[in-house]
Amino acid sequence: MAKVPTPHIGAKEGEIAEKVIMAGDPLRAKFMAETFLENPVLYNSVRGMLGYTGTYKGKRVSVQGHGMGIPSIGIYTYELFNFYGVKSIIRTGSAGAFHPDLKLGDVVIGMGSCTDSNYGAQYNLPGTFAPIADFELVRKAAAKAEELGVSYKVGNLLASDVFYGDSADSWKAWQKMGVLAVEMEATALYMNAARSGNKALAICTISDSLVTGEACSAEQRQTSFTNMMEIAFDII
């Protein structure tokens, strides 16, 4: 714990809970803290990446922004797991649907995470590592979604380094392999959790569809995204 505060997180030792829920947008992290936590206390505002600790139904929970992309979440989750003693992280985020049955507002529970990133090269493995979520968190998330009546699927996500790609149809190759949706962070989260011996899960809400071209309005994002948030807080 001697390496805290870090260059990216200003929290002191003990200010971050062992269970953390993350969001790419720090303002969504702020919304979650103010909506779900009792007595949330701001522990980080470095680089505007807001972080709060409070309680949810008697559990001590922290909420932290992680920014966009694998390099950004890679930094924040590495520091949380390795410097702040965090044991479990759930990412809540948006995703673009590859599967034709996924509708706007549906939830995808990321059992695995494919990627076009080279993030895993740092481990010098004699092969290809398959980044997967913690099964207990997956099981609990699916059960909670059913309890809440939320439409969901469990399966593979694609964590892509590219938002504006040069090939408009490249996503179809991933679709052929059964990948459900694309986001930009789960691979680094799962790899950092594996390397540090901890738990992780990515839960995403479908905000747009590459199949139909539909996209959520700002109002739809505000109302439908709370389903994945409630799932995350209840199972963390």
Give me the pLDDT at residue 217, please.
84
User: What does the alpha-carbon distance between residue 98 and residue 159 come to, in Å, rounded to a whole number?
Assistant: 13
What is the residue whose two structure tokens read 């790609």? 165
- Between residues 3 and 87, which one has the greater pLDDT? 87
The Cα–Cα gap between 14 and 62 comes to 11
**Residues facing 215 on adjacent strands:** 208
Cβ atoms of residues 153 and 108 within 8 Å:
yes
Specify the fold of 19-235.
Rossmann fold (3.40.50)
Element (H, E) at 136: helix 135-148
pLDDT digits over 149-160, tens only? 999 999 999 999
Tokens of 223: 């109302």
pTM (whole model) above 0.85: yes
pLDDT score of 223: 66
Q: What is the pLDDT of residues 93-113, one digit of tens each?
A: 999 999 999 999 999 999 999
Mean per-residue pLDDT, 121-135: 98
> Tens of pLDDT along 156-184?
999 999 999 999 899 999 999 999 999 99
pLDDT for res 2: 64
Three-class DSSP category at 17: coil
Average pLDDT for 23-43? 96
Please indicate whether residue 208 is annotated as part of the active site: yes
Express the helix, strand and coil content of the chain in percent, nearest 5 each. Answer: 35, 30, 35
What is residue 200's predicted lDDT score, i.e. its pLDDT? 99
The β-bridge partners of 200 are 89
Q: Which of 25, 161, 208, 234 is catalytic?
A: 208
